[in-house]
A and B are shown apart, each in its own frame.
Chain A
Amino acid sequence: MAELYELTITEARRRLDAGDITSVQLTEAVLERIAAVDSQVRAYLAISDDLAMRQARAADARRRAGNATGPLDGIPLAIKDVINVQGLTTTCGSKIIENFVPPYDSTAVARLKDAGAVLLGKTNCDEFAMGSSTERSAFFVTHNPWDLERVPGGSSGGSAAAVAAGAALGALGTDTGGSIRQPASLCGVTGLKPTYGRVSRYGLVAFGSSLDQIGPFAWTAQDCALILGAIAGADPHDSTAAPQPVPDYVAGLNGDVRGLRVGVPKEYFVEGLEAGVEAAVRDALELLRANGAEIVDVSLPHTKYALPVYYIIAPAEASANLARYDGVRYGVKQAGDSYWDELERTRGSGFGAEVRRRIMLGTYALSAGYYDAYYKRAQQVRTLIRRDFEQAFAQVDILAAPTSPTVAFKIGEKTDDPLAMYLEDVCTLPINLAGMPGLVVPCGFSAGLPVGLQLIGRPFDEGTLLRAGDAYQRLTDWHTRRPALTAST
């Protein structure tokens, strides 16, 4: 019988509802697992065990009183450290605000709390979510539970690794260019980047405001559906949170892909795509076809521009978003002779190299005389990229593609080569630029390391993505594989 920390959310909830286990037992089991393995994985920046146990006891009390608040009541989850939880430090993986304690909850976290979730702690990430390996955290590197010498992906590597290691039943991450999907793929778990606007960004520390989305990690599409249902929907605090009603995602999981038209964009089978990754993805497509889906070749001709467009727009937005870290109101301030001297010292020493690089890129792209050639042009091309998707979705219901060209790579392998690191996200960036939702489900292994299948949907049609992902998981057992992680002594 599986350990409690290995349960899916759906199964844990069934046992909680049946009275077989309590949230306190479940939470204790996960906290013990964290204590046992996190010194190797290092998924967590901070563990909020007091808060978690308090919430677990409250959840048990509600359930005993017959007042369980919903599908997440008593379920222990982890939160990426760019998402504010009132009273817990939000570092964003950065020295510059390593002491910032937010006085308010992000909307997503407030909604998780309302749904009864138990919050285990804050997970590691690349500094301000800028990176694809979690090596850019200012504090430490997170290790891939499948091979501790390898990266978990990033930037939400801590959240992905926490779920993969049994150190959380689910987690919130954020995805600006692939930061949920690529680590989900590399850690062999399921991850969903919702449509831009599906989940409120209020309380998510901004990186690229027109690209950022909060989304769930869990073992299964069904679990992701549960979390998405809890956090999605309009928010008066976020003008970009969409008013579209939130469907019952779990109710839509009927296991049926017959007649589902699945487009396969040829541009996503890129140069540098590892053979083992391509094979796993092609096998998954074949399985969907065998079960009644219609596989259609499609083209997204502007895909090749996505990387340069992304690396203008995201840094441009970041250059403004990160300008507030001046040491005046919060964060770490370096003393100096004047405001300007303090500003330079604070920002010069507080930000890591990758963050500084992107701030400079973005500042340049927005500068007078360059704006039209870079930022404005990038926005125009972004429109073309979005149109590619709209045209594809006129023919098909969803798209299917690789997530990352590679499996998890060795720690340190790409840190000296920013471009190689940026290419990790070549299959995920365009989806953020277009604002579409993307779901990653484990679809096999290459050289003993997980591979994820990326499914891309129409805006606000997470339902179809989750249905396809769930159907695939009813046909496969990749999502039931667990890394052979042994407790450190």
Chain B
Amino acid sequence: MEYLVTIGLEVHAQIRTQSKMFCGCSAEVANAAPNTHVCPTCMGLPGALPYINRRAVELAALTGLALNCRIEHNNVISRKNYFYPDLPSSYQRSQFDDPLCVAGWVEIAGEDGTRRIGLTRVHIEEDTGKLNHQADGSSLVDFNRAGVPLMEIVSEPDLTSPDEARRYFQKLQQLLRWIGVNTGNMEEGALRCDANVSVRPVGQKEYGAKVEIKNMNSFRAVERALTYEIQRQKAALDAGETIRQSTRGWDEARSVTVEQRLKEGSEDYRYFPEPDIPPLRLSDEWIAARQAELPELPAARSARFIAAYGLSATDAEVLTADRADSEYFEQAVAAAQAQGVGARDVAIWVTGELFRLTKETGESLGDIHDRFKPAYVGEVIALLANGTITRTSAKEVFEASFRDGSAPAQVVHARGLAVIGGGDALAGLAREAIANNPKSVADYKSGKVVAIKFLVGQVMKASKGQANPQAAQAALEEELGRV
């Protein structure tokens, strides 16, 4: 039977703030010793109260704007009640009826053009602590992560394939990193994803039973888990079985999804408005200030690169995948243009030589920015363009400068890579070649003009390729005239 696939993603992203969502504890908890970033509030001690981290709200709203959402003026924090040892108050502060951001979308590129994926909402909440399971079967609780600011980004069920789901998630990661609200680090759990997936026979109007998949820790895992689960559901339906609404976990090692629990109706979290935090009323001015804080986004920047610099769509896409890359590129362009070099040459060098080198060293352009300054890219290209160095030397200079941060001109000087374009040095080499090759000189003098090519070759050889062939020939002609 033919089936339609429906996928929606719920992405949890930690918000990059200095302190936690509802207390002053440091939110930089990735490598901290257990239970060192805690206080009465994030430990849920009797009597402790929350106070909201305004910056976290601002960054979540910034995210909403980057995802084309509407920012709601009235915001309510709610308590989501459930018992679990990693949840200090036995309720999670989250949002329910009145999320911060609603009705957005992101565009992802596909084989058949651009697809717009709808976003239901982006809301703010606090992260839970972490259970560390011990060999003896007991578990230790680390509350460092409890209270770290989170956003939950919920898509519409608009995704139709595992590949599309992965590309959507990657797009989100790109955007969150771009605007600086999230590290995008999935290993550390800064970015996490759950998927809801259902299949139904073509022609059936109502959706199939929704299965939630958890524990997917990479883009690859998202794609593989969904692929597996869709096949599983199709096979079950083909066999006449019924799919039940349930939660399944992705088992990476075995490459299967495993049923964790059945959902008998929806879970009852008994949400109600958090009485300890008055509703947040966000003014138009406040929202406008967030809008003003929003940087140029990848799509706009890519379009501008094409229009302003004449880049190909592919180069523009590659150069705007990462914000630091795109900024590095623009700074390199500025330096190059000041020396009469065009942006397209810069794009060629950055996407070619520079990305080859950073791939090798595992660095990003943001990492190398202070060492191999963007201006150096422009300088190398200018040195090549004005004939100071050859293409071969340009690559050498580029790489040397990349490695140790020396200015390109310095590398050229230190390594004697400047093209020998005339003057005494070239004249000396020409005289040397004439002195060492009397036969060729005689041939030339007797009218075999092509014999000079051999002499040019000797000059080039002696200059270790640094001489400009035309200049070498001119110097030879001049010296031969004197013989």
Contact = CB atoms under 8 A, between A and B. Distances in A.
20 contacts: A92-B46, A97-B46, A102-B40, A104-B45, A104-B48, A202-B47, A204-B47, A210-B275, A238-B49, A238-B51, A239-B51, A240-B49, A240-B276, A317-B275, A320-B90, A329-B45, A329-B88, A330-B45, A368-B268, A375-B272
B93 to A, nearest CB: 11
B79 interface: yes
A8 interface: no
B266 interface: yes
A475 B270 CA distance: 52
A19 B448 CA distance: 126
Contact of A84 (B47, B88, B89, B141): B47
B49 A237 contact: yes
A100 B277 CA distance: 26
B45 A103 contact: yes
Given A239-B278, A323-B90, A363 B270 contact: yes
B91 A202 contact: no
Nearest to A97: B46
B201 interface: no
A205 B45 CA distance: 9
Given A237-B51, A238-B51, A366 B272 contact: yes
A399 interface: no
Contacts of A206: 46-47, 276
A18 to B, nearest CB: 38
Contacts of B50: 239
B47 A205 contact: yes
4 A-B pairs closest in CB distance: A323-B90, A366-B270, A209-B275, A210-B275
Contacts of B91: 320, 323
Contacts of A46: none
B81 A323 contact: yes
Contacts of A323: 81, 83, 89-91
B239 to A, nearest CB: 34
B270 A328 contact: no
A292 interface: no
B48 A202 contact: yes
Contacts of A201: 47, 49
A27 interface: no
B40 A103 contact: yes
A128 to B, nearest CB: 10
Nearest to A362: B270
A205 B46 contact: yes
A203 interface: yes
B260 to A, nearest CB: 16
- DSSP class of A's interface residues: helix, strand, loop or mixed? loop
A199 to B, nearest CB: 13
Interface string A314-325: 001101100110
A326 interface: yes
Contacts of B43: 329
A343 interface: yes
A336 interface: no
B44 interface: yes
B303 interface: no
B85 interface: yes
Given A320-B81, A323-B83, A324-B89, A239 B40 contact: no
Interface string B86-125: 0011110000000000000000000000000000000000
A240 B278 contact: yes
A375 B96 CA distance: 15
B52 interface: yes
A367 B83 CA distance: 15
Contacts of B266: 368
Given A240-B278, A320-B79, A326 B85 contact: yes
A324 B50 CA distance: 14
Interface in B46-60: 46-52
Nearest to B85: A328
A90 interface: yes
Contacts of A328: 85, 141
A106 interface: yes
A375 B276 CA distance: 17
Residue among A92, A209, A323 facing the most chain B CB atoms (10 A cut-off): A323
B49 A324 contact: no
B272 A371 contact: yes
Nearest to A236: B51
B272 A316 contact: yes
A203 B45 CA distance: 9
B275 A106 contact: no
A340 B85 CA distance: 10
A327 to B, nearest CB: 10
Nearest to A323: B90
Given A324-B89, A326-B85, A328-B85, A239 B49 contact: yes
Contacts of B45: 102-104, 329-330
Nearest to B41: A237
